[in-house]
Amino acid sequence: MTEILRKELKFKGLVISDDMEMGGITKYFQLPEACYKAFLAGHDLILICHSLERQKEVLEYFNQKIKNDQTAQKRLEDSLPRIERFKQKLSQDAWI
């Protein structure tokens, strides 16, 4: 995501994953690990669509990883402004 989408294609928008609970992912990876890899690869938002418990599990995993990993901290710092811009645009468009 980062190399091609951001660097080569100069995409500045939000990158959102597909549902990470799909069998093609969970068959080969533990969900928290797969989500974390997607995040490090450049996804700004990670979708977990079916289970609140799985969402909580991934959030706990992310909290631990981000606390201890400067690369992950930098990725989060890169994503947060894009998420905020999207939220602002979304709220502005809602009033049109």
Residues ≥6 apart with Cβ < 8 Å to 33: 61
Q: Please state the pTM of the whole predicted model.
A: 0.87
User: Contact 76/45 with Cβ under 8 angstroms?
Assistant: no
Q: What is the dihedral of CA 71, 46, 38, 78, to 10 degrees?
A: -30
List beta partners, residue 16.
45
User: What's the sign of the alpha-carbon dihedral 7, 8, 12, 16?
Assistant: negative
Of the listed ranges 26-30, 45-49, 61-65, 88-92, the least confidently predicted one is: 88-92
Number of domain units in the chain = 1
pLDDT in tens, 42-83: 999 999 999 999 999 999 999 999 999 999 999 999 999 999
Domain containing 18: what range? 2-93
